[in-house]
Structure 1
Amino acid sequence: MIRRWAPAGLADLTAGRRQLAAALHDGACPSGAEKGAVERLLLAYEELASNALRHGRSPVEVTVTSNTTSWLLEVSDAAAAQPPSPAIGRDPARGGLGLYLVARLCDAHGWMTDGHCKTVWARIDYTRAEIRSTAPQGRARPRGHRGRDH
């Protein structure tokens, strides 16, 4: 595990993102990790954790782990009965497009619940710098599923 956070507000989220960036800069980043992949991880962290704080229920917990090719970002909150809900038909100027962004940034993503908490997760391949080129043109569609990659 790289690190675990329990943000209670948006200021904690910003501090956690800085701590993650510092940890990756100070040796937690695997050799061969692309700089663009680090940026994708930091942005996915910000999007998923802010969604949990804004739309979920306390406590919120964020965990980043790594394996031989990727990072796994997991964000859980106590709103188990409230699935992630992408904005549909909303003016982009009003926000709410974070799940679409995460779908585009990450190599796999989804969510699951154990009845007590909901966990939204994203896997980022750290050997690839760029955003996935196989994503469909236009808006990427988030995949809401229970724990399986598509």
Structure 2
Amino acid sequence: MPRHVAKGRAFTRQALQDWGWDRTETSEDTLLLVSELLTNASLHSNGCRELVLTADGATLRIEVHDGTTTLPLHRPAPQPGLPGGRGLYIVERLSDCWGAHAYGDGKAVWAEIETTRLEYGMPVEH
């Protein structure tokens, strides 16, 4: 699992850099979103089949496609003291919206970030 998460983060980092969105706190949030979505695909389905990043003038959309049609359960907040249940909570907190849809023999879990957050967010200092 760690290898495909690292590959997904590297792919996303390069896309953000190519699009000029690589130097804000929101770009770091985007990498965390990708990590969470890929990890969830590994833990709760048959792993990631495809990671898709698309951008238009308003939003960056992250989609992780996997091999099950079971949609994720939404929990409003993680249960204190219990393991798990934090992945989608993190996705909900960091994205502007998220969701999932089943199709054929799989599903896509997606998250969107408004591009203005990527363009004008707080710079990351290195």
TM-score (norm 2): 0.79
Contact 1:56 1:78 in 2 (8 A): yes
Contact 1:86 1:96 in 2 (8 A): no
- 1:13 matched to 2:5? The reply is yes
The residue type paired with residue 113 of structure 1 is: A
**Counterparts of 1:17 and 1:59, CA distance in 2:** 13
Residue deviations 1:90-126 (CA, integer Å, cap 9, x gap): 3356232110111111111111011311111111112
Change in 2 beyond 3 A, CA 1:60/1:90: farther
Match in the other structure for 1:69 = 58
Match in the other structure for 2:72 = 84
**Counterparts of 1:48 and 1:78, CA distance in 2:** 14
CA-atom RMSD in angstroms: 2.3
Match in the other structure for 2:45 = 56
Shift of 1:83: 1.4
Instruction: Count the aligned residue pairs.
Output: 118
- Structure 1: which 5+ runs fail to align? 1-8, 131-150
Q: Which residue of 91, 98, 105 maps to 2:94?
A: 105
Q: Which residue of 70, 83, 88 maps to 1:94?
A: 83
- 1:124 matched to 2:113? The reply is yes
- Structure 2: which 5+ runs fail to align? none
TM-score (norm 1): 0.68
Q: Percent identity?
A: 31
